[in-house]
Structure formats: structure tokens, C-alpha cells
């Protein structure tokens, strides 16, 4: 059962990406989890996206860069630590989905901005 859950998580993470989230155990209260998650998310937003954008733009064509890999790693560690109990790792999965969604949205905006800039240059020529 644990290996099935781990395989499921691995396949899920192969198709999506995640924002680094806090690591916590069963003993943490909901309030502590919310505080940890909020502080981690704010820190990730300010520094991760600019670093990720720079690294993504400068990577080689054959290299895949996933700015949410840290969240994926934390999800897998949580699954291992909790013997495959998905309910215990729900916050990690959600953080990964949020990260991936944010990253894809930022990439769409960057592409749209580049396309409009190129169109303006063509109009001026």
C-alpha cells in the first residue's frame, strides 16, 4: 500500500510542480501550520520567482527546470515519513499545486509580454 501511494505520488509530481512548504509533524496545531505555511509562502514569493525566471531563461534547450521541485521533494518525504498516508501530506500537495499554478501563470504572462513587445517592434519597422 505504501509503495502504491509512493508510486502514485511520483507520477503525480511528474505531471505537476509545487512551492516549497513548511515541514511539520502530527503534533503541530492548525494555527502553527498556518503560520508556518504563510511565512514560507511569502519568502518563496519574493525570492524564488525572480531566481526561477532567471534560471529558466538561461537554461540549455535540453534541460528542464522546475522551480517547484523543492515542494515535490517535501511531498515525497512526507509520504515516506507518514507511511504513505495522503491525508497527512495534503498541505504539501496543495503547496505543490499552488506553486505549479503560479509558475505556469507567470510563464504565460512572460510569453504574452514578449509577444506584444515583438509585435510592437514589427509595427515600428
User: DSSP 3-state assignment of 76?
Assistant: helix
Q: Taking the alpha carbons of 38, 26, 85, 67 in that order, is the dihedral positive or negative?
A: positive
Of all residues in the chain, the percent with pLDDT exceeding 70 is 49
Q: Taking the alpha carbons of 91, 92, 95, 97 in that order, is the dihedral positive or negative?
A: negative
Contacts with 76 (C-beta within 8 Å, 6 or more apart), sequence order? 6, 9, 10, 13
Q: Which three cell numbers stand for residue 113?
A: 509580454
Kindly report, residue by residue over 91-100, the tens digit of the pLDDT: 999 999 999 9
Q: Residue 25 has what pLDDT?
A: 44
First-residue to last-residue Cα distance in the chain: 63
Kindly report, residue by residue over 33-86, the tens digit of the pLDDT: 555 555 555 555 556 666 766 666 666 655 567 889 899 999 999 999 999 889
Cβ–Cβ under 8 Å, residues 74 and 25: no
Cβ–Cβ under 8 Å, residues 91 and 18: no
Amino acid at each position: 500500500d505504501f509503495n502504491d501511494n509512493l508510486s502514485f505520488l511520483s507520477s503525480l509530481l511528474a505531471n505537476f510542480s509545487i512551492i516549497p512548504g513548511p515541514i511539520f509533524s502530527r503534533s503541530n496545531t492548525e494555527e502553527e501550520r498556518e503560520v508556518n505555511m504563510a511565512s514560507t509562502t511569502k519568502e518563496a514569493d519574493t525570492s524564488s520567482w525572480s531566481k526561477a525566471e532567471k534560471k529558466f531563461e538561461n537554461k540549455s534547450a535540453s534541460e528542464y527546470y522546475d522551480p517547484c521541485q523543492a515542494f515535490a521533494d517535501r511531498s515525497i518525504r512526507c509520504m515516506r515519513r507518514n507511511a504513505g498516508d495522503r491525508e497527512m501530506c495534503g498541505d504539501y500537495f496543495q503547496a505543490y499545486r499552488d506553486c505549479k499554478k503560479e509558475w505556469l501563470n507567470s510563464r504565460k504572462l512572460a510569453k504574452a509580454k514578449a509577444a506584444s513587445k515583438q509585435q510592437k517592434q514589427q509595427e515600428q519597422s
